[in-house]
A and B are shown apart, each in its own frame.
Chain A
Amino acid sequence: MELSRVSGHGPSEWWIEPHGEMRVPVVVYATESLVREMDEKVLEQACNVASLPGIVKAAYAMPDAHWGYGFPIGGVAAFDEEEGVISAGGVGFDISCGVRLLETPLTREQLEPLKELLANALYHAVPVGVGSRGRLHLDEAGLDAMLAGGARWAVERGFGTAADLPRIEEGGCMAGARPEYVSMRARQRQADEMGTLGSGNHYLEVQHVVHVEDAALAEAYGLREGQVVVSIHCGSRGLGHQIGTEYLREMAVEAAKHGIHLPDRELACAPIRSRVGQEYLGAMRAGINCALANRQIITHLVREVFERVTGVRELRLLFDVSHNTCKEEEHEVDGRRRRLFVHRKGATRAFGPGHPDLPAELRAVGQPVLIGGSMGTASYVLAGTRESEARAFSSSAHGAGRCKSRHEALREWRGRELVESLRRQGILIRSPSLRGVAEEAPGAYKDVVEVVDAAEEAGLSHKVARLEPLACIKG
């Protein structure tokens, strides 16, 4: 976009003052070159968000913001509990899509001779791709229990351990879930999908810590150079997609009834206090639990494979972050504590040191923020900062974001050649679809380093360690 559209407000911070229907400014956190690369549509969409009723302070765009539907992806917006709205479009279809990181006691050298075996075993154990089914079939009662209990339900069923739970947002169980507001169709899409990875940009990746950026924080997080770790990126599967589809439509149809003008129908929202607003909140929270349970089951499958292949079963969960959510949180606004409904669409919650919601062992250092890349590109572990609270309601970036469309990627790369060239770089790819691999080519994504540097410069989060892939299971 043209830089003339925004005004500089400090390092990596750009503003658009309210105009037209906007109630608050738009604030973009990004380096100058990231702003130049951003699609004009990001600004247009952020300005639309800034015009919604009850929005507080500003509509924010994270350094990896790109053109979404309704809200930009990489968008953050908080709404007043009395006058504000909740937006199904502001959460997105893949409710609580997120990343978790498991730490192994292994070094890269120890893993190297077993890498091929491990990649094959992981690919065999974790269902991936279109049409795959999980090994667990849930009946109605099982679905209800899962939707109410999240990762806590999964642990009770023997997937992972109770020690995992404090390392997941909300202690692994999102309160206020109302399974009764999740439709039959959403349930039918999920009955056989628990413990499946999905497709697209989702992945299961074995990585190693190549560089520690902050020694004290890395130690607090249990990370050291050369260490093997595992990242899991996936979401709430068919259930979340169906909840998003149904409530988005209902909110779009009913907006006028609530006196809400939608500049783009995909912004579909409803007053938080309305019937549809409350029902969506209950269903969306159940969707969050579905995603947390799903990642917990996959974690269990990964641990089983590691034990079988390497003899190591102790894979400690560093943290599990969710990207597409709306959460009720308390934040300070103009010197006053307020209850707000914070939408993060393609953005990571990033609580700083001292936050009461963090588990005791992380409270002094802040929440781990996981920024994912996959196949050929690096991932980063960052830490939440105190300043982030004032900057963007404790939020940070979530990934690199695409710079080439799927069609451009298909024209530029061949799946088989990519797999071979990554193998020569020491990175094993396992996927049921070579076309899928080509569409997700590392070159189709922006440079994650620039996104991470911008997040650091803007005070949204602080760099702890850089991870690079060893083996990647793609859907």
Chain B
Amino acid sequence: MLGDSVQRTTHHSAPEGGTRWGHLRHGSDIGVWGRGRTKEEAFEQAGVALCAVVTEPERVAPREAVEVRCEAPDEELLFADWLNALIYEMSARRMLFSRFQVRLEGNRLEGRAWGEPVEVARHEPAVEVKAATLTELEVRREPDGQWRAQCVVDV
């Protein structure tokens, strides 16, 4: 469950209404969360929240696609794996991603991330994300029927 010290500090709304992604406040680091009608959407939106830790997602043009695959013993670890796969691609390719597509089959994930190489002057990246942690890690269905996926990331 969300601890008392974790608060939703930013959120972004979809045109059809409802908050789609945002950040959790954590003592020294930051958490990301995504919401959607399906688990897939929640995972995709959390990818946008991850991008927003580094820069404003609207500054990142979705010009190139990168594919990632993950498999995990449960859906929470799968979510952490998804974010860590994105963090790896950001680091190894020196890219930022702003658009995401996720397909889930059981505990297997096939994802695609669109973005472009880091351009310091235009993106003004604030900080690099080191890893997605297993702290505050949750994938759950909320009372309104929407899916939510979240965890703290180390920066």
Contact = CB atoms under 8 A, between A and B. Distances in A.
Interface of A: 39-41, 66-70, 73, 89, 92-94, 129-131, 133, 185, 188-189, 198-200, 238, 241-242, 244-245, 248-249, 252-253, 264-266, 268, 401-402, 405-408, 432-436, 439, 475
Q: Which of B5, B81, B88, B91 has the most CB of A within 10 A?
A: B91
Contact of A68 (B23, B27, B155): B27
A250 to B, nearest CB: 11
Contact of A433 (B29, B94, B126, B134): B126
Interface string B53-72: 01100000000000000000
A268 B80 CA distance: 14
A131 B27 contact: no
A407 B91 contact: no
Interface stretch (B41-49, B117-125, B140-148): B117-125
Given A199-B155, A241-B87, A249-B77, 20 more contacts: A40-B5, A41-B3, A67-B28, A69-B135, A70-B135, A73-B27, A89-B134, A130-B125, A189-B88, A245-B87, A245-B131, A248-B134, A266-B133, A401-B28, A402-B27, A405-B27, A432-B125, A433-B120, A433-B125, A435-B126
Interface string B20-31: 000101111110
Interface of B: 3-5, 9-10, 23, 25-30, 54-55, 73, 77, 80-81, 84, 87-88, 91-92, 94, 117-118, 120, 123-128, 130-135, 137, 152, 154-155
A419 to B, nearest CB: 13
A252 B135 CA distance: 12
Given A68-B27, A185-B92, A242-B88, A253 B134 contact: no
B117 to A, nearest CB: 8
Contacts of B4: 40
A407 B10 contact: yes
Nearest to B25: A405
A131 B30 contact: no
15 contacts: A41-B3, A67-B28, A69-B134, A188-B92, A189-B92, A249-B84, A264-B134, A266-B135, A266-B137, A407-B10, A407-B25, A435-B124, A436-B125, A436-B126, A475-B127
Closest 9 CB pairs of A and B: A131-B118, A130-B125, A67-B27, A69-B135, A69-B133, A265-B134, A435-B126, A241-B130, A436-B126
Contacts of A402: 27-28
B133 to A, nearest CB: 4
A406 B7 CA distance: 13
A241 B10 CA distance: 26
B120 A432 contact: yes
Contacts of B131: 93, 241, 244-245
A131 to B, nearest CB: 3
A311 B2 CA distance: 56
A428 to B, nearest CB: 19
Q: Which of B28, B29, B94 has the most CB of A within 10 A?
A: B28
Nearest to B53: A406
A245 B5 CA distance: 25
Contacts of A439: 126-127
Given A41-B27, A69-B134, A245 B84 contact: yes
A418 to B, nearest CB: 13
A245 B92 CA distance: 15
Given A131-B94, A131-B125, A402-B28, A252 B134 contact: yes
Given A67-B27, A131-B120, A401-B28, A39 B127 contact: no
B154 A94 contact: yes
Contact of A39 (B5, B154, B155): B5
A188 B29 CA distance: 25
A106 to B, nearest CB: 31
